[in-house]
Structures are given as C-alpha cells and as structure tokens.
Chain A
Amino acid sequence: MSVGDWVSAVLLLSGSLLALAAGIGMLRFPDLWMRMHAGTKPQVLGLLLVLAGVEVQLVPDASAVVALLFVGLFQLVTAPVASHLLARAGHRSGVVPREQLLQDDLRVFELECAAGDHPESSPPQGSTPSS
C-alpha cells in the first residue's frame, strides 16, 4: 500500500467509526435532542472524512473530486438547517422535557409573542422574560 492508500484507509475507517458512534447514540440516548447530538457526527464530520478518503483515492479524476466536494458542501449547508427545524419542532410539540433546560430562549420568545410584544414575529432583541 502506498502513502495515499494509508491516508485514505485512516480517513475511511475514522468516518465509519463516527457513524457507528452515531448509531449507538441514536439507540441509547433518552430524548430527541440528545439523539440529534449523536446523529450529527456522521452527517457532517463522518461524511467529510469519508469523502476526503475517497478523494485521496480518486485524485487523478478531477471531475469526480469536484463532485464529491459539492456533496460535502451541500451537506455542510443543509445539515444545520434541517437540525434547526427538527429541534424547534421538538421544542414546540413538547417532545423534549423542557423542565430540565437551564436556558430556554425559545420559550421566552413564545411568551413575548403571547404578550403581544412581537406583532410580526420579529426576533427577540436582548430582552428578558416578561412573565
């Protein structure tokens, strides 16, 4: 095996192990947000490591390397958006236990909306809970 093969092997195996850690975390963690915390690993870092390992293998083929770079870029852009929506839906639908949260800014925002402080649902600007 050449040096490139060794680098590629390390990257592929570390990305796969991150995916395995996510699988264990998805199964063992108790609520939605903790599972999302575990699930983020293969979504971003694991996939980027595996793609880097594949790119080391395919390096003479420039078009394939560019396509794989785009895959990593799309994942970097879309994974935070999807996670944000998922976490907010979990908060709103009461799936996660809110009592254990130390800081709950989204709840503060909801209370302010209910009190009529944000008629057009503008984001809160350094305000404190009113009730």
Chain B
Amino acid sequence: MGLVTDIALGILLVAALLVVVRLVKGPTTLDRAAAADVFVAILLCGVAVLVARRGSTVFVPVLLALSLLGFASSVAVVRFVGREGPTGRSDDEVEEGSGS
C-alpha cells in the first residue's frame, strides 16, 4: 500500500506543479482564480492520500476545512473581479483592476 500511495502522491505533485505554472502565467485574474480552485482540489486529494498512507485520521478535519475554504476564496475573488451588473459592462476597468 505504501508504494501505491507514493505513486499517487507523485502524480498529484506533478499535477499541482502544472497548475501552479498556470497560476503564475495566467493572463487574467479569472484564470488565476480557476487555477487556485483546481489547486485546492488537488491539495484535498493529496491530504486524502496522506490519510490513507498513514492510516490515521488526524488530517480528516483538515480536509473539511480546506473544502469550504476553497469555495469561499474562489467566490470572493470572482465577486471582486466581476462586480458590475448585467447591463453595466466595463472591460477596461476590469482589466485595470485585475493587474494589481
């Protein structure tokens, strides 16, 4: 079982690195928000594999906290970026606001 969890953790590490590359490159804030969301999901998978590897349930509350934290953070970023209403679109303001 140790070998299987090692392989799974390695695959998850490669996936997380690819997502981090997108997190750094991402041309807009929304791309980064999507990448951060996926990163939290991969982190959840990694902690779950760690629970299986150690056979102890110490990290299960961490899983619960992370799953809610990822949702709240992505919603906060998206609400910050896409604040304007359905009719009041302003692309230039959004682009300027996303640079910082």
Interface residues of A (CB under 8 A from B): 1, 5, 8-9, 12-13, 15-17, 19-20, 22-24, 26-27, 32, 35-36, 39, 42-43, 46-47, 50-51, 53-54, 57-58, 61, 63-64, 67-68, 70-71, 74-75, 78-79, 81-82, 85-86, 88-90, 92-95, 109-110, 113-114, 121
Contact = CB atoms under 8 A, between A and B. Distances in A.
Contacts of B55: 57-58
Counting contact residues on chain B (CB < 8 A from A), the size range is 35 or more
Contact of B42 (A36, A42, A58): A42
A60 B37 CA distance: 32
Given A9-B4, A16-B8, A35 B75 contact: no
A119 to B, nearest CB: 11
Interface string B7-26: 11101101111110110000
Given A32-B28, A42-B38, A86-B33, A58 B51 contact: yes
Given A19-B12, A27-B22, A85-B74, 15 more contacts: A1-B1, A16-B7, A19-B11, A20-B12, A39-B38, A50-B48, A68-B60, A74-B64, A78-B71, A82-B70, A82-B74, A88-B82, A93-B30, A95-B31, A110-B86
A72 B1 CA distance: 23
Contacts of B67: 71, 74-75, 78
Given A19-B11, A50-B49, A89 B31 contact: no
A94 B52 CA distance: 43
Contacts of A22: 15, 19, 38, 41-42
A20 B64 CA distance: 23
A67 B28 CA distance: 36
A92 B82 contact: yes
| Shortest 9 CB-CB contacts between residues of A and residues of B | A89-B82, A23-B18, A23-B15, A78-B71, A39-B38, A16-B11, A64-B57, A19-B15, A9-B4
B90 to A, nearest CB: 9
A28 to B, nearest CB: 9
Contact of A42 (B41, B75, B79): B41
